Amino acid sequence: MTSYSNVLKPLHLGFTTIRNRVVMGSMHSGLEDRFYHYPKLAAYLAERAKGGVGLIITGGISPNRQGWLLPMGGTMNSWGDVLNHRLVTHAVHKHGGKILMQILHSGRYGYQPFAVSASPIKSPISPFKPRALSDKQILATIDDYARAAYLAKKAGYDGVEIMGSEGYLLNQFLSRHVNQREDRWGGDIQGRMRLAVEIVKAIRAKVGEKFIICFRLSMLDLVHDGNTMDEVLIVAQALEKAGITLLNTGIGWHEARVPTIVTSVPRAAFVDVTAYVKQHVKIPVIASNRINMPDTAEEIIASGKADMVQMARPFLADPYWVNKTATGRVNEINTCIACNQACLDHTFKNQRASCLVNPRACHETELVYVKTKKPKRIAVVGGGVAGMSAATIAASRGHHVTLFEASHEVGGQFNLAKVVPGKEEFHETIRYFKVQLEKNAVEVRLNTRINREQIEREGFDDVVIATGVVPRPLKIDGADLPQVLSYAEVLRGAEVGHRVAVIGAGGIGFDVSEFLLKPPSQPQPQPLADWQREWGVDPHANYISEGGLAPAEVDLPYRQIFLLQRKTTPLGIGLGKTSGWVHRAQLKKHHVRMMRGVQYKSITQEGLWVEVDGIEQLLRVDTIVVCAGQESVKELMPQDTEHTLAKYHIIGGAKLAGELDAKRAIREGAELAAKL
């Protein structure tokens, strides 16, 4: 067993010690912006501190109104703010954690009319054109940062993190991509970094020596006219001289067209960039992006590539990540699968964040699993993620749970998803649930297709129907021909030809297209060098290109694919806000022909007959894969519960196939189990 001694080693900063090398990185939870949410925010962060994390960094808090991400966003500029934040710092300190408040000025990413920037250039991801800050306004902004840090100290924070990456205000000043000023705040790198450096100096002067100042520096901009590595090093060294305590890694602007955190990005893909910067400074450096499991974290620290590892989403997925690592229970970690579906996708829709695999995240005071005083006998029918969520939580509360699964394995639809290239993390969720089933003594009966009479005969108190879905069949002439396959058959390994029509362009149509684009011999997960080549990322840690971009090289697709839908809207419009663009870009790069407004006519030996814009045409394909959604399987759910002895409940895809999604399935399982 690996001891993880490097990642668990304390970090001494002279005036203070962080108990291990693990940082919970900044992530907006949606609880930072309203004072009445602070008790919930405190409970959410306290649980992570209790779980052993060394250092927590809050979601971004603005130093002034121009810096708001959204109207009335969380700000630190008054004594009232100090009182709210004290709830948070006390809660974290009670459990031995340290906490920094992140000061984030959104600059031109602000979704509000007061947005400002280095130059008046609108970002592609916000409708508001920013005003360029005047010299006087820049000086006032520096004062606002210093005041926010001073107030953070009064609120009990151990320090602040200054957000200088991901394309926010300070990054906008640092890079030519937005900074086109000709005054002392622009021009060469000395001018462009002046604002960041002056902010650090002003904060240090205001808060004294014994207060952590962490700077999150964009080490790889991934946008055109971004900084070169030489420029990044000049900034890092100047910040060190100005008085920062820790240097954190930022990768890619939000508007970059290279994915940096989605599940298809290889684990620890950018750590060599951090390692290179670390060689040029003396202060501790933090690595980030796609680090989610202890082996990766340990390797980074042990190899000396970084002094700390930062994870944000993995702490939504499992608050006890560190304690489990420290006590030899790594296989109990609920791994973040980097799907973004309940965290960042919520944030970007202005909803409270949570986690697909852990619906308690950011709902710690509302979704509570208490030990039951009246243990019941509960049957859960269906071993997909909805069923396993219900079974494991009900059992952890003290109920006696039996899980019936018709197939030879648990996992349901996740067993299909895990074979899609870039979705290898789904294996981890299945592993997590299997361990939980065993740990909580759930009796699992595989290969058991139970019927109502058997359920009733066994005398359960409650029965949870989580029987999931089956693929919706296609109903046109020729749909029964052997070259017509369901997505489930394809993902289970059915033979597929080289010219393929995929019917249905929802999440699964996209997944299946990506699965078919790559030859079966393609290694999974994708090797880092292949991924960098495909997405145009300079593979050299000391890159000399601007922004670390390189020309992308895409292999010829293994198959020719037509992806079709009946709707006339653009394909993939309903995919996740923060990951959908990656899937669309991937298919486009591989020349998938996307067709909308398609009417399916018939299937013959020649291929698929369709009508588009009133014109009938033949798509000469040798395989047709049906990804036309699902239908619920719910025969076991009684129509009339008057004559049943047990109390029946229905969750997940069995309840509603139309919106089949894992986030809802796991949450419904958890919410039901919390109440049983």
Q: Looking at the annotation, which residues are catalytic? A: 168
CB nearer ligand NAP, residue 398 or residue 506: 506
| CB 100, CB 212: distance < 8 Å | yes
Q: How far is the CB of 91 from ligand NAP (least distance, A)?
A: 34
Q: How far is the CB of 623 from ligand SF4 (least distance, A)?
A: 32
Instruction: Give the one entry of ligand NAP, ligand SF4, none that residue 576 binds, where binding means its C-beta sits below a cut-off of 5 to 8 angstroms depending on kind.
Output: ligand NAP
Instruction: Give the one entry of ligand SF4, ligand NAP, none that residue 273 binds, where binding means its C-beta sits below a cut-off of 5 to 8 angstroms depending on kind.
Output: none
CB nearer ligand SF4, residue 229 or residue 316: 316
CB nearer ligand SF4, residue 101 or residue 357: 357
Which residues form the interface with ligand NAP (CB under 6 A)? Answer: 472, 474, 503-511, 565-567, 575-576, 583, 627-630, 659-661
| CB 189, CB 225: distance < 8 Å | no
Beta strands 17-18 and 615-619 are unpaired
Instruction: Give the one entry of ligand SF4, ligand NAP, none that residue 660 binds, where binding means its C-beta sits below a cut-off of 5 to 8 angstroms depending on kind.
Output: ligand NAP
CB nearer ligand NAP, residue 576 or residue 669: 576
| CB 668, CB 388: distance < 8 Å | no
* Residue spans of beta strands (DSSP E) within 108-211: 116-117, 131-132, 159-164
| CB 474, CB 626: distance < 8 Å | yes
d(CA 220, CA 135) in angstroms, rounded, equals: 28
| CB 45, CB 83: distance < 8 Å | no
CB nearer ligand NAP, residue 120 or residue 506: 506
Beta strands 598-604 and 607-612 are antiparallel
Q: How far is the CB of 417 from ligand NAP (least distance, A)?
A: 7
d(CA 461, CA 473) in angstroms, rounded, equals: 36
CB nearer ligand SF4, residue 8 or residue 336: 336
- Specify the DSSP class assigned to residue 639: S
d(CA 347, CA 358) in angstroms, rounded, equals: 16
Instruction: Give the one entry of ligand SF4, ligand NAP, none that residue 629 binds, where binding means its C-beta sits below a cut-off of 5 to 8 angstroms depending on kind.
Output: ligand NAP
Q: How far is the CB of 554 from ligand NAP (least distance, A)?
A: 20
Q: How far is the CB of 577 from ligand NAP (least distance, A)?
A: 10
Provide the sign of the torsion angle of the four alpha carbons 430, 435, 439, 443, taken in this order: positive
Binders of ligand SF4: how many residues, by CB under 6 A? 14
Instruction: Give the one entry of ligand SF4, ligand NAP, none that residue 316 binds, where binding means its C-beta sits below a cut-off of 5 to 8 angstroms depending on kind.
Output: ligand SF4
**What angle do the packed helices 385-396 and 662-675 form, to 10 degrees?**
30
Q: Around 100, how many Cα atoms within 13 Å sit in the side-chain half-sphere?
A: 29
d(CA 622, CA 616) in angstroms, rounded, equals: 19
| CB 592, CB 561: distance < 8 Å | yes
Q: How far is the CB of 291 from ligand SF4 (least distance, A)?
A: 12
Q: How far is the CB of 317 from ligand SF4 (least distance, A)?
A: 5
CB nearer ligand SF4, residue 356 or residue 587: 356
Instruction: Give the one entry of ligand NAP, ligand SF4, none that residue 293 binds, where binding means its C-beta sits below a cut-off of 5 to 8 angstroms depending on kind.
Output: none
Q: How far is the CB of 134 from ligand SF4 (least distance, A)?
A: 40
Binding map of ligand SF4 across residues 316-355, x = CB under 6 A, - = no contact: xx------------------xxxxxxxx-----------x
| CB 44, CB 29: distance < 8 Å | yes
CB nearer ligand SF4, residue 245 or residue 341: 341
Q: How far is the CB of 42 from ligand NAP (least distance, A)?
A: 32
Binding map of ligand SF4 across residues 530-559, x = CB under 6 A, - = no contact: ------------------------------
Alpha carbon separation from 367 to 42, 51, 314, 362, 668 (Å, rounded): 15, 18, 19, 9, 11
Instruction: Give the one entry of ligand SF4, ligand NAP, none that residue 171 binds, where binding means its C-beta sits below a cut-off of 5 to 8 angstroms depending on kind.
Output: none
Four-point Cα dihedral 262, 268, 270, 271, nearest 10:
160
Instruction: Give the one entry of ligand SF4, ligand NAP, none that residue 317 binds, where binding means its C-beta sits below a cut-off of 5 to 8 angstroms depending on kind.
Output: ligand SF4
- Specify the DSSP class assigned to residue 600: E
Amino acid at 538: D
| CB 504, CB 484: distance < 8 Å | no
Instruction: Give the one entry of ligand SF4, ligand NAP, none that residue 53 binds, where binding means its C-beta sits below a cut-off of 5 to 8 angstroms depending on kind.
Output: none
Q: How far is the CB of 671 from ligand SF4 (least distance, A)?
A: 16
CB nearer ligand SF4, residue 43 or residue 151: 43
Give the closest residue to 162 by CA, choosing from 238, 72, 239.
239
Instruction: Give the one entry of ligand NAP, ligand SF4, none that residue 338 binds, where binding means its C-beta sits below a cut-off of 5 to 8 angstroms depending on kind.
Output: ligand SF4
- Residue 415 as a binder of ligand SF4 (CB under 6 A): the answer is no
CB nearer ligand SF4, residue 313 or residue 559: 313
* Residue spans of beta strands (DSSP E) within 353-448: 377-381, 400-404, 443-445
DSSP 3-state of 570: coil
| Two structure tokens written together for 596 | 């909308």
- Residue 385 as a binder of ligand SF4 (CB under 6 A): the answer is no
d(CA 536, CA 558) in angstroms, rounded, equals: 20
Give the closest residue to 116 by CA, choosing from 105, 127, 124.
105
CB nearer ligand SF4, residue 102 or residue 141: 102
Instruction: Kindly identify the residues of this chain, within the stretch 502-531, that bind ligand SF4 according to CB under 6 A.
Output: none
Q: How far is the CB of 290 from ligand SF4 (least distance, A)?
A: 11
Instruction: Give the one entry of ligand SF4, ligand NAP, none that residue 478 binds, where binding means its C-beta sits below a cut-off of 5 to 8 angstroms depending on kind.
Output: none
- Residue 356 as a binder of ligand SF4 (CB under 6 A): the answer is yes
Beta strands 131-132 and 116-117 are parallel
Beta strands 17-18 and 11-12 are antiparallel
* Residue spans of beta strands (DSSP E) within 373-438: 377-381, 400-404
| Two structure tokens written together for 17 | 């010690």
d(CA 432, CA 357) in angstroms, rounded, equals: 10
d(CA 133, CA 139) in angstroms, rounded, equals: 10
Q: Which residue has the tokens 């880092």?
A: 528
Give the closest residue to 149 by CA, choosing from 95, 206, 189.
206
Applying CB under 6 A, the residues found at the interface with ligand SF4 are 313, 316-317, 336-343, 355-357
